[in-house]
Amino acid sequence: MDLDYIKAQLPYSSPFLFVDELIFADENGISGTYTFKEDLDFYKGHFKNNPVTPGVILTETMAQIGMVCLGIYLLDKDLNKEFTKDTLIAFTSADIQFIKPVYPNEKVTVISKKIFFRFGKLKCDVSMKNEAGQEVCKGTIAGMITTKL
């Protein structure tokens, strides 16, 4: 499957799209990148005079690349279903450890490994690394893929 196709199916747009590029995808995992540009609104108040990317945004970035993009890939590959406007993705849980701060203008890489995908539920081990290859956060993310009733 074309990685640009996966990105085009994402149900997000700026300023809430945290996927720049997808690097790799197969039935066992996915990886992609995002650069946190310094003009993003949340940097104005988190933290004053020393901006740091909020953990909730790091978690969202890992979920978008590591769960949603992988879910789109698996939906097509495993279930032979297309991602449509009637497809819904619901974030159900996350257990994330934050190890290092991520600053404005840092590019991160998200690596996700599927734990399981069954009955529309996807659970993944996800890690995020900075450009130096240092792990900045890691954990487990899960969600549900379903269609509108």
Q: Provide the annotated active-site residues.
A: 46
Query: For 84, which DSSP code?
Result: -
Query: For 130, which DSSP code?
Result: -
Nearest to 26 by CA among 1, 9, 7: 1
Distance CA 63, CA 94 (A): 9
As beta bridge partners, residue 138 has 97, 127
Query: For 71, which DSSP code?
Result: H
Distance CA 136, CA 143 (A): 22
Angle, CA of 13, 149 and 19, to the nearest 5°: 20
Query: For 3, which DSSP code?
Result: H
